[in-house]
Amino acid sequence: MRSTLRPGAVGSAVRRGLVAAAVLALGSTAAVATATSANAAVACKVDYSANEWQGGMSVNLTIQNLGDALNGWTLTFTFPNSSQRVTQGWSATWNQSGNTVTATALDWNRSLPTGGSTNIGFNGSWSGSNPTPTDFKINGVACNGTPQSPSPSPTVSPSVPQSPSPSPSPSVSPSVPQSPTPSPSTSPQQPGQRVDNPYDGADGYVNPDWSASAASEPGGSAVANESTGVWIDRIAAITGGSAGNNSMGVREHLDEAVRQDAANGSKPLTIQFVIYNLPNRDCSALASNGELKISENGLARYKSEYIDVIADIMSDPKYSQLRIVNIIEIDSLPNLVTNTNIPACAEAKNTGAYVQGVQYALDKFSAIPNVYNYIDAGHHGWLGWDSNFGPSAELFASTVRGTAKGFNSVTGFITNTANYSALQEPFFNANTTVNGQTVRQSKWVDWNWYVDELSFAQAFRTKLISLGFPNSIGMLIDTSRNGWGGPNRPTAASTSTDVNTFVNESRVDRRIHAGNWCNQSGAGLGERPKANPAPGIDAYVWIKPPGESDGSSSAIDNDEGKGFDRMCDPTYTGNERNGNNLTGALPNAPVSGHWFSAQFRELLANAYPPLS
386 is catalytic: no
Are 385 and 513 found together in one domain?
Answer: yes
- Distance between CA atoms of 291 and 302, rounded to whole angstroms? 10
State which H helix or E strand residue 465 sits in.
helix 453-466
Are 135 and 206 found together in one domain?
Answer: no
Query: 474, 197 in Cβ contact below 8 A?
Result: yes
Number of domains in the chain: 2
CATH number at residue 101: 2.60.40.290
Residue 175 lies in a domain: no
* Residues above pLDDT 90, as percent of the chain: 68
Can you tell me whether residue 612 is helix, strand or coil? coil
Residue 423 lies in a domain: yes
Query: 317, 243 in Cβ contact below 8 A?
Result: no
Are 291 and 366 found together in one domain?
Answer: yes
Residue 275 lies in a domain: yes
Are 476 and 573 found together in one domain?
Answer: yes
Query: 318, 250 in Cβ contact below 8 A?
Result: no
Q: What is the pLDDT of residue 170?
A: 34
Instruction: Tell me: cis bond preceding 184? Omega within 30 of 0 counts.
Output: no
Residue 166 lies in a domain: no
Can you tell me whether residue 476 is helix, strand or coil? strand
- Distance between CA atoms of 269 and 203, rounded to whole angstroms? 5
Query: 524, 603 in Cβ contact below 8 A?
Result: yes
Are 81 and 218 found together in one domain?
Answer: no
CATH number at residue 369: 3.20.20.40
Residue 100 belongs to what domain range? 24-142
Q: Which residues contact 608 (CB under 8 A, 6 or more apart)?
A: 483, 484, 485, 486, 489, 508, 524, 525, 526
Q: pTM of the prediction?
A: 0.72
- The residues with which 118 forms a beta bridge, in sequence order, are 63
Are 517 and 579 found together in one domain?
Answer: yes
Radius of gyration of the chain (CA): 24
Q: Among residues 331, 376, 386, 569, which one is catalytic? A: 331
| Residue 35 CA: distances (Å) to CA of 30, 135, 164 | 17, 15, 19
pLDDT in tens, 527-546: 999 999 999 999 999 999 99
> Which amino acid belongs to residue 555?
A
- Distance between CA atoms of 419 and 330, rounded to whole angstroms? 11
Residue 516 lies in a domain: yes
Low-confidence stretches of the chain (pLDDT < 50) are 1-27, 34-38, 145-188, 242-244
Are 239 and 97 found together in one domain?
Answer: no
316 is catalytic: no
Are 234 and 132 found together in one domain?
Answer: no
Angle at the Cα of 560 from the Cα atoms of 294 and 392, rounded to 5 degrees: 50
CA 201 to chain centre: 26
- Among 142, 160, 187, residue at a domain's last position: 142
Are 129 and 275 found together in one domain?
Answer: no
- Among 108, 142, 176, residue at a domain's last position: 142
Backbone angles phi, psi at 486, to 5 degrees: 80, -175
Are 246 and 126 found together in one domain?
Answer: no
Residue 2 lies in a domain: no
Residue 494 lies in a domain: yes
- Among 102, 118, 142, residue at a domain's last position: 142
- Distance between CA atoms of 573 and 234, rounded to whole angstroms? 31
- Beta strands (DSSP E) in 1-116 are 25-36, 41-53, 56-65, 70-71, 74-78, 85-90, 93-97, 100-104, 111-112
End-to-end CA distance of the chain: 29
- Distance between CA atoms of 399 and 378, rounded to whole angstroms? 16
- Distance between CA atoms of 381 and 445, rounded to whole angstroms? 9
- Distance between CA atoms of 157 and 146, rounded to whole angstroms? 7
State which H helix or E strand residue 261 sits in.
helix 250-263
Q: Among residues 209, 550, 565, 569, which one is catalytic? A: 550
Are 108 and 201 found together in one domain?
Answer: no
Are 507 and 425 found together in one domain?
Answer: yes
Residue 249 lies in a domain: yes
